Amino acid sequence: MARQAGRVIAAHGRHFLVAIEPPAAKDGPLECVMRGKKGGVACGDHVEISPTHPGSGVIEQVLPRRNLLYRSDQLREKLIAANVDQALIVVAAVPQFREELLIRCLAACEAAEIPAVIILNKIDLPESAALASSLEHYAGLGYPVIHVSAHGDIAALATRAAGQVSVLVGASGMGKSSLLNRLVPDAAAAVGDISVALDAGRHTTTQARLHRLPVGGAVIDSPGMQEFGLRHLDASTLTQAFPEIRARVGQCRFYNCRHLKEPGCAVLEAAASGAIRSTRLRVYQSLIAQSEGPTR
């Protein structure tokens, strides 16, 4: 049987659900495995498959990606989403805002050339006022910041997501699932169907899933995370992944300045004057040290 084009809409280990594209009325997603060991498959990947039995098939090839968002540590890489138009990074003041995680997510998006939007959820809580003020700094760096409440007004988020393929990322407890259920009313039912199809039960919640928006476009929901490793980014890429540092490249005394402690460093001078946020500089310096470490 001839190969068919499709898009990965869910994954669990080496098992995937692939939606045939363009869909026909009779086509439902196929349960697929990857032939051989040809590398990872991400939610959102465009693939070629060979049907094997009714409702199942084999992924023969992952087609070239427009982009790929992923994280990595010393042991492995974790693919999050491929071929997206934007990343929607959900933060909230409660239970706890972790700025380093946000910084790392933004750096990964910059490296992958994926536009990032910060979604401040739970804006109705009194604790959110201080965080909203703090996030104005990120708006100044060029990242749009949208204020929403998953149990109230999400109009600005719905407008931003309409017609786009977005990946929804953030720490556990930020309200991603509640926002998804507002954007895609049948998302919970779809998750249940995927769990049954992949025979993975509750464990499918550790994988990304693509949901079609009623108004057009799609949202890829990724699992809540507690850390975002960037072991795959080298020093040169990290420099470009921080807009305020990228803007000062070439202004330091030394052409190969790493912006750690070198004299005449334009980045350090900007940090001392308050033009660069100290938290962001510390994360950048930590990542640079990691990228140059012996374990890389």
Please name the residues in contact with 37: beta carbons below 8 A apart, sequence gap of 6 or more.
Answer: none
Both 85 and 31 in one domain: the answer is: no
For 18-21, which contacts have Cβ atoms below 8 Å and span 24 or more sequence positions?
18/47, 18/49, 18/57, 18/59, 19/210, 21/46
Alpha carbon distance 103, 228 (integer Å):
9
Residues 217 and 167 occupy one common structural domain: yes
Under-70 pLDDT residues of the chain: 1, 24-27, 37-39, 189-206, 294-296
Do the domain assignments include residue 139?
yes
Please indicate, yes or no, whether residues 90 and 196 belong to a single structural domain of this protein. yes
Residue 102 located in a structural domain: yes
Cα–Cα distance, 115 to 87 (Å, whole number): 6
In this structure, what CATH number is given to the domain that contains residue 261?
A: 1.10.40.50
| Residue 88 structural domain | 68-221
Q: How many CB atoms lie within 10 A of CB 254?
A: 10
Q: Where do runs of H (alpha helix) occur along 221-295?
A: 235-241, 243-246, 266-273, 278-291
User: 120-173: per-residue pLDDT in tens?
Assistant: 999 999 999 999 999 999 999 999 999 999 999 999 999 999 999 999 999 988
Model pLDDT for residues 27-60, shown as the tens digit of each residue: 689 999 998 766 689 999 999 999 898 889 999 9
Same-domain status, 78 and 199:
yes
User: Same domain for 74 and 38?
Assistant: no
